[in-house]
Amino acid sequence: MPVSLTAATASGLCAFIDASPSPFHVCATVAEELVANGFTPLPEARAWDSAGGKHFVVRGGSLIAWADYDAAPTDPFRVVGAHTDSPNLRVKQHPDLAAAGWQLVGLEPYGGAWLNSWLDRELGISGRLSVRDGAKMRDVLVRIDEPILRVPQLAIHLSEDRRGVTLDPQRHVNAIWGTGDSPASFLDFVAERAGADGADVLGWELMTHDLAASTLVGRDNDLVSAPRLDNQGTCYAGLQAFLAAIDDPGAATPVLVMFDHEEVGSQSDRGAQSDLLPAVLERIVLARGGGRADYLAALAGSVVASGDMAHATHPNYPDRHEPAHRIEVGGGPVLKVNQNLRYATDAAGAGAFALACAQAGVPLQRYVHRADLPCGSTIGPMTAARTGITTVDIGAPQLAMHSCRELMGAADVPAYAAALAAFLTPAIEE
């Protein structure tokens, strides 16, 4: 049965986001919830005697989970996809700087960060360290929820244009974290907070996050104000939908995949252009006792819902939207279509998701980007190309995409999860 409209909540989404400041923390948050629901992690570097039951795999900031009960080798998959990364400011490899009596941390933008939104905010640090452990190496999660960094705006009196400042990503987004004419060791500070010695740190992926808590806002508390809604809104709704679907998987094996690096093109060892999803799906089929031909047959009957957030029509900028495709906050999930395949949706994929929305009892909105503006993309097109699986691009409506803080409707959280749960549980043909 599809997830109930009360299983996924706006307050639950806020808690999820606040627990997950980096892609690595998203995977840790999801893994903890999966283990609590009877899932077992499988190491990729070992043979899988059986992939039956409830399992998941973590590769860095990416995760795949599935529930496989007595399936035949050729049985299809229903996959909900999301991405764990969000645009932000990340720490450079030589971060220690000093200028004009200030101690600075060198930062650079990751993805399409809306840079002005990161100014004058209290910022923490999260990510992971690779630390020497004797002759080996181990990963250490890092999370510092303290106001240690701030990127200051230029005073209006010093600006050439008082309507706004154009930021140079090389010169204008370094963060202040102290005073003095000599640089201080940022890496030593982070390592100490992580319980490690700075001399043992061999590598790191560190990023900033806004310390203001996610919250419900508006006259009736019917809006969600939070960082990283793109795309943790889908990660949370997808997880809730997946957990609701595993007890009644219907005619296909339910799969949840969350990729890292979508915001920078997905071309990495764990992005949507990697072998992660095809390799895991093939290993599931092999563990069922099937072969290569069975795997290809299973893919041919499968469908992927590529979930990413969608643009709600902005009340202050209605002219920036396709006039015939108004998208409302609180109006239900969004089907995204682009004729030039920035989205992967075709008629078959659209039909599968529209049917799921109807079965879940939630309305469906249809989005098309203005033809005279460049359209963003998702994990959808590359997932379709890597696997050959019918793929549909969908999302939940929001404002301020790629800002340090974004806005969506509280009612869209359960509606989104309900549609995804129905998608994961297609009816068994009689």
Q: Is the dihedral of CA 63, 67, 70, 75 positive or negative?
A: negative
Reading the block at residue 319, the tokens are 């002219």
Upstream peptide bond of 338 is cis (omega within 30 degrees of 0): no
Would you say 83 is a known binding-site residue? yes
Query: Using an 8 Å Cβ cutoff, are 92 and 114 in contact?
Result: no
Amino acid (one-letter) located at 197? D
- Bridge partners, 183 (sequence order): none
Residues 6+ apart with CB under 8 A from 194: 129, 140, 141, 142
Distance of CA 17 to the CA centre of its chain: 10
Please state, in angstroms and rounded to a whole number, the distance separating the CA atoms of residues 418 and 25: 25
| Number of Cβ within a 10 Å radius of residue 284 | 26
Kindly list the distances between the CA atom of residue 408 and the CA atoms of 137, 249, 368, 382, in Å, as whole numbers in the listed order: 41, 29, 19, 27
Name which of 117, 318, 101 is nearest 229 in CA terms: 117
Please state, in angstroms and rounded to a whole number, the distance separating the CA atoms of residues 399 and 401: 6
Residue indicated by tokens 């490690």 = 196
Please state, in angstroms and rounded to a whole number, the distance separating the CA atoms of residues 338 and 37: 38
Kindly list the distances between the CA atom of residue 273 and the CA atoms of 111, 152, 231, 305, in Å, as whole numbers in the listed order: 16, 37, 18, 16
Would you say 402 is a known binding-site residue? yes
Please state, in angstroms and rounded to a whole number, the distance separating the CA atoms of residues 81 and 305: 6
Which segments are annotated as binding site?
A: 83, 157, 402
Which segments are annotated as binding site for Zn(2+)?
A: 83, 157, 402
